[in-house]
Amino acid sequence: MADLSHLMKIAKYAALEAGKVVMEVYESGEFATEIKPGETPLTRADRASHEVITKHLYKTNLPVLSEEGILIDFRERTTWEYFWLIDPLDGTKEFIHKNGEFTINIALVQQNRPVAGVIYAPCLDSLYMGSDETGVTKSKNGEQYKFAPLTVRRRFNDLLIKEHVSVVASRSHLSDETKDFINQFHHVTLTSMGSSLKFMLLLENQADIYPRLGQTMEWDTAAAHAILNASNRGVYNMDLKSELCYNKQELTNPFFIAF
């Protein structure tokens, strides 16, 4: 059994240190942007953050799977009981547009389930951490807040009959399918935001639901998924019952609904 409290301290430090190098690039304005396969942008900050995070996480002697690392064969990955799953810079488009809505995501995954997560938003100096063992906290401007888990998980049918529903959606990827999904609610307030900060609006009760009917990868969601689970919320498949699973042969997520 992993010592989650100890491992999360290492992940927290890694995220904060990565935030420093990301902000150095952000403030310099020299992004040196490339386009990866799939039209995904890549900057000098993505690479620098990856190097800093992996340097710290390798000290735990657990495998690391990173968006900016080498893709590891599925047959090897199936032997891992625990591993780190990281997105060194989530919201690269937001980074390039300089709107501050980008994060550093570090998740600890046990086989196919994220069990601990750290999300750091350097521009906002906001750091979220969560696991069942440690609870869920947010640190901002030197102060720490603790979130009590929901006493009962929310049900999708309750949202359908709610008079007013607050929906958060991707700033960069609002698909037609997502718009159709949103239209089934009565009165909607729609908030657009980048990166895993969308999930954190659910945690902070600033949004009721986050539908993502578009492509994401496992490293985009794992840290937030762990944090939401620890707060008794879920990131569900379209059946609205089963949740996303991780360390699949293909690392692409299916469409999902978080609430």
Hey, what domains does the chain have and what are their CATH numbers?
A: 4-147 (3.30.540.10), 156-258 (3.40.190.80)
d(CA 159, CA 142): 35
Digitized pLDDT (tens) for each residue of the chain, 259 residues in all:
689 999 999 999 999 999 999 999 999 977 666 665 555 667 899 999 999 999 999 999 999 999 999 999 999 999 999 999 999 999 988 998 899 999 999 999 999 999 999 999 999 999 999 999 999 999 999 999 999 999 999 999 999 999 999 999 987 777 889 999 999 998 999 999 999 999 999 999 999 999 999 999 999 999 999 999 999 999 999 999 999 999 999 999 999 999 9
Q: DSSP string spanning 122-154?
A: TTTTEEEEEETTTEEEEEETTEEEEEPPPSS--
